[in-house]
A and B are shown apart, each in its own frame.
Chain A
């Protein structure tokens, strides 16, 4: 675990057992001129076309959302990562993530955008044959046609493969007739192309079909009344013997569930980017309000209670962003390696994404919970005005909430995080046993109190993170040993382990980001970022300790438990940090800049 391996592609999930070199990760401070220009185009689009129209969008004014999608299409924003041969711009995954992040500040519009360019376009792009791609992708990339994705049914949400929608071949063998009811279909109201999941005859697994709006047998229900993202079209779609040409079967029969899962992996990562973008926007609003609003004769940004909130919003957002782009880069590198080994681009992209499914789930959970924290404190900073629909914070608060539910609920994603990690260990893809046994051995030995050489700027934090890994390996190892096949049913323990993994991944991503940044800009220019790292890791240690303790208390006992509790204490021990002063420093910078500025 001590070998820093600066090899190109770290494998998905390996962050638990391997150290990563700061130079090997991508950090957002490295965007090039062209990427910054693309980001500015997105920001200007939101500021000029979306933000002034949010009330009209939320009222679902006829044709407005489709018009905004057309405008985004004209700017080229719907085809960022679509290859140039299919009318897109062939940009890498990070750049499309940057676009998702910047458009993430667009409330309901960002949902329409993400659904169209993600689940609406990618199934055809990644799994379609050339004829299907030629027919649909250029129109989706330009925005001429809008896409939607029909997976969820009234009785099958998280358990997606249990759907009741059925497809049967017509006697002449030329069409499938799809019958079923799909629910929570984003963009349904104006979509031209639907990717629909249904089981053919009595198949065990889903198949996927490309269905055009004009095919016979499609009926749309009225718009759902939702808590937030009110401007996003969400309807039920009914298929009643909907006649779909056989050439519109996507990929192979029964491959639908795999398509659904793989597209969700990308969607989860993208959701992370989008929520980071929304968080930044909300922080900027909160800082501006705090600087303008006066109470007791001073701007409320002068008060410590408010400064604490502003700083905490920024710390969490900066950390989430570090994780999003670290994983995006990893996925891209894995894809490149797979292409070098002879896989075609589409297959390499899918496999590369699948490799980082653990990280995608972690990012989805963390970033959506960060946004919920940010909007919650945003409302609080706005005080009474935060509760008023006249001010923008009320909408941000409502719109944020869905992110913890769609693209797999955060509970499902937490379970997946642990499940995928353990499955990979069992398959021999990830050597968790070796490092776990090493930790178990270390537990029995006397702790090493010797001073470990010269202390650098990141020595302590690196040590803490290495210890977090030991804490997780110890608790997870014991859970597997004690609960064995029952572990899958002990969902509370899975949640504890997932929370520990999330805190580890984000802490490490943040530490590596700040280390790389200091290398680029020098320590003096990164004071607030160093403070963010110290506060985050300090808090992460406490969270990891708490989750570990809860898990151990649930299944361990006797001397063994006592020994592991002592180990947990040792592995989550950190030196005192004056987090109050650190947060004050971070807040001071935000307040001076009058916006999110990191």
Chain B
């Protein structure tokens, strides 16, 4: 089985978001970037597990981004993966990202394409399903467990108020979330091997961007916390009724 894992680069979770250029752009200076956790902890690690158990034979990683994303993709290679492909383009627009990846993956005969359920920067959560549509592949979103039986994937996914188990033949696109695998720490052998694993740079498919970002807005500052004495529940009820207006 040949697997493609889609990786994106996102700001570290502790990043302070600073807007610039009249709120039309986000300041990137001083930001530390990491692999999107949903891509890393779940998609990539599950792919590595499938290879370790002999189910998968080859893992490729793909990222849409400029040269500044290379440290992140090499970190992904340190965890595992045979080679990486960097599609040399901006990845802010989910449709474009999906088109670029589908364009590359179309002729590569992947049996399974894995991605995180969303990236933690723009949180669109749509790239996986768009890749499936563009490649005319089946798609299962928000997987919490992924097993294989011969040519079939058995996938658990969250649904409203419960869980659903699907079975679907490969080729297939799956977006992953918590439960699919456990996070791992790259070991020395992987870190040293990452340097020697191929990283191909691919020119993106020529396509026009149809969306543009007009402006960003920061969420309102959090209001202060009121501490209520545990012995004074009446006061809490009063506050919830008169101030929070929730009861």
- Residue in B closest to A76 when the chains form the complex, CB atoms: B188
Residues of B within 8 A of A44 (CB): 185
Residue of B74, B183, B188, B195 near A89 (CB, 8 A) is B188
Asked if B228 is at the interface of the complex by the 8 Å CB criterion, the answer is no
Q: Is the CB of B195 within 8 A of A41?
A: no
Interface string of A59-77 (1 = CB under 8 A from B): 0000000000000001111
- Residue in A closest to B195 when the chains form the complex, CB atoms: A34
Q: Which of B181-238 contact A (CB under 8 A)?
A: 183, 185-189, 191-192, 194-195
- Residue in A closest to B186 when the chains form the complex, CB atoms: A41
Residue of A33, A38, A41, A89 near B71 (CB, 8 A) is A33
Residues of A within 8 A of B194 (CB): 34, 37
Q: Is the CB of A45 within 8 A of B185?
A: yes
Smallest Cβ distance from B84 to chain A, in angstroms?
14
- Residue in A closest to B34 when the chains form the complex, CB atoms: A40
Smallest Cβ distance from B12 to chain A, in angstroms?
11
Q: Is the CB of A80 within 8 A of B188?
A: yes
- Residue in B closest to A47 when the chains form the complex, CB atoms: B185
Q: Is the CB of B192 within 8 A of A41?
A: no
Asked if A48 is at the interface of the complex by the 8 Å CB criterion, the answer is yes
Q: How far is the CA of A329 from the CA of B183 in the complex (A)?
A: 35
Smallest Cβ distance from A41 to chain B, in angstroms?
5
Smallest Cβ distance from B176 to chain A, in angstroms?
20
Q: Is the CB of A48 within 8 A of B188?
A: no
Residues of A within 8 A of B187 (CB): 41, 74-76
Smallest Cβ distance from A495 to chain B, in angstroms?
42
Q: Is the CB of A38 within 8 A of B188?
A: yes
Smallest Cβ distance from B41 to chain A, in angstroms?
12
- Residue in A closest to B71 when the chains form the complex, CB atoms: A33
Asked if B59 is at the interface of the complex by the 8 Å CB criterion, the answer is no
Q: Is the CB of B71 within 8 A of A77?
A: no
Q: How far is the CA of A160 from the CA of B173 in the complex (A)?
A: 66
Interface string of B8-30 (1 = CB under 8 A from A): 00000000000000000000000
Smallest Cβ distance from A577 to chain B, in angstroms?
28
A: contact size bracket: 10 to 19
Residues of A within 8 A of B188 (CB): 38, 41, 75-77, 79-80, 89
Q: Is the CB of A37 within 8 A of B185?
A: no
Residues of B within 8 A of A45 (CB): 185
Give the most central of A33, A36, A37: most B CB within 10 Å: A37
Q: Is the CB of B185 within 8 A of A33?
A: no
Asked if B131 is at the interface of the complex by the 8 Å CB criterion, the answer is no
Q: How far is the CA of A180 from the CA of B228 in the complex (A)?
A: 64
- Residue in A closest to B187 when the chains form the complex, CB atoms: A75
Q: Is the CB of B185 within 8 A of A34?
A: no
Q: How far is the CA of A75 from the CA of B194 in the complex (A)?
A: 15
Q: How far is the CA of A80 from the CA of B191 in the complex (A)?
A: 12
Asked if B78 is at the interface of the complex by the 8 Å CB criterion, the answer is yes
Q: Is the CB of B189 within 8 A of A41?
A: no
Asked if B75 is at the interface of the complex by the 8 Å CB criterion, the answer is yes
Smallest Cβ distance from B10 to chain A, in angstroms?
16
Q: How far is the CA of A89 from the CA of B191 in the complex (A)?
A: 11
- Residue in B closest to A42 when the chains form the complex, CB atoms: B185
Q: Which of A407-451 contact B (CB under 8 A)?
A: none
Residues of A within 8 A of B75 (CB): 37, 40
Q: How far is the CA of A342 from the CA of B194 in the complex (A)?
A: 33
Q: Is the CB of B185 within 8 A of A76?
A: no
Q: Is the CB of A34 within 8 A of B186?
A: no
Q: How far is the CA of A48 from the CA of B191 in the complex (A)?
A: 19
Q: How far is the CA of A36 from the CA of B33 in the complex (A)?
A: 13
Q: Is the CB of A89 within 8 A of B185?
A: no
Contacts A33-B71, A33-B74, A37-B78; is A75 near B185 (CB within 8 Å)? yes
Q: How far is the CA of A329 from the CA of B65 in the complex (A)?
A: 35
Give the most central of B71, B188, B191: most A CB within 10 Å: B188
Give the most central of B75, B78, B185, B189: most A CB within 10 Å: B185
- Residue in B closest to A75 when the chains form the complex, CB atoms: B187
Q: How far is the CA of A74 from the CA of B75 in the complex (A)?
A: 18
Q: How far is the CA of A48 from the CA of B186 in the complex (A)?
A: 13
Interface string of A74-98 (1 = CB under 8 A from B): 1111011000000001000000000
Contacts A34-B195, A37-B75; is A48 near B189 (CB within 8 Å)? no
Residues of A within 8 A of B195 (CB): 34
Interface string of A25-46 (1 = CB under 8 A from B): 0000000011011101100110
Q: How far is the CA of A188 from the CA of B120 in the complex (A)?
A: 47
Smallest Cβ distance from B22 to chain A, in angstroms?
24
Residues of B within 8 A of A38 (CB): 188, 191
Q: How far is the CA of A435 from the CA of B175 in the complex (A)?
A: 71
Q: How far is the CA of A75 from the CA of B187 in the complex (A)?
A: 4
Interface string of B48-85 (1 = CB under 8 A from A): 00000000000000000000000100110010000000
Q: How far is the CA of A75 from the CA of B185 in the complex (A)?
A: 8
Q: How far is the CA of A574 from the CA of B93 in the complex (A)?
A: 57
Residues of B within 8 A of A37 (CB): 74-75, 78, 186, 191, 194
Residue of B183, B189, B191 near A34 (CB, 8 A) is B191
Smallest Cβ distance from B221 to chain A, in angstroms?
16
Smallest Cβ distance from A187 to chain B, in angstroms?
21
Q: Which of A127-156 contact B (CB under 8 A)?
A: none
Residues of A within 8 A of B78 (CB): 37
Residues of B within 8 A of A48 (CB): 183, 185
Q: Which of A82-120 contact B (CB under 8 A)?
A: 89
Give the most central of B189, B191, B194, B195: most A CB within 10 Å: B191
- Residue in B closest to A90 when the chains form the complex, CB atoms: B192
Q: How far is the CA of A41 from the CA of B185 in the complex (A)?
A: 6
Q: How far is the CA of A33 from the CA of B76 in the complex (A)?
A: 13
Q: Which of B161-183 contact A (CB under 8 A)?
A: 183
Q: How far is the CA of A540 from the CA of B78 in the complex (A)?
A: 44
Interface string of A1-41 (1 = CB under 8 A from B): 00000000000000000000000000000000110111011
Residues of B within 8 A of A33 (CB): 71, 74
Residues of B within 8 A of A41 (CB): 185-188, 191
Q: How far is the CA of A75 from the CA of B189 in the complex (A)?
A: 8
Q: How far is the CA of A41 from the CA of B74 in the complex (A)?
A: 14
Residues of B within 8 A of A36 (CB): 71
- Residue in B closest to A38 when the chains form the complex, CB atoms: B191
- Residue in B closest to A99 when the chains form the complex, CB atoms: B188
Smallest Cβ distance from A592 to chain B, in angstroms?
9
Q: Is the CB of A89 within 8 A of B192?
A: yes
- Residue in B closest to A78 when the chains form the complex, CB atoms: B188
Q: Is the CB of B74 within 8 A of A76?
A: no
Q: How far is the CA of A89 from the CA of B185 in the complex (A)?
A: 17
Residues of B within 8 A of A77 (CB): 188
Q: How far is the CA of A80 from the CA of B187 in the complex (A)?
A: 11
Q: How far is the CA of A147 from the CA of B183 in the complex (A)?
A: 30
Residues of A within 8 A of B186 (CB): 37, 40-41
Q: Is the CB of A76 within 8 A of B71?
A: no
Q: How far is the CA of A37 from the CA of B194 in the complex (A)?
A: 10
Q: How far is the CA of A48 from the CA of B195 in the complex (A)?
A: 26
Smallest Cβ distance from A511 to chain B, in angstroms?
26
* Interface contacts beyond A37-B78, A77-B188: sample of 17 additional A-B pairs, CB < 8 Å, sorted by A: A33-B74, A34-B191, A34-B192, A34-B194, A34-B195, A37-B191, A38-B188, A38-B191, A41-B187, A41-B188, A41-B191, A48-B185, A76-B187, A76-B189, A79-B188, A80-B188, A89-B189
6 A–B contacts from the bound complex (CB under 8 Å): A34-B192, A34-B195, A36-B71, A75-B185, A76-B191, A80-B188
Residues on A lying within 8 angstroms of B by beta carbon are 33-34, 36-38, 40-41, 44-45, 48, 74-77, 79-80, 89
Nearest 7 CB-CB pairings of A with B: A76-B188, A75-B187, A44-B185, A37-B191, A76-B187, A89-B188, A33-B71
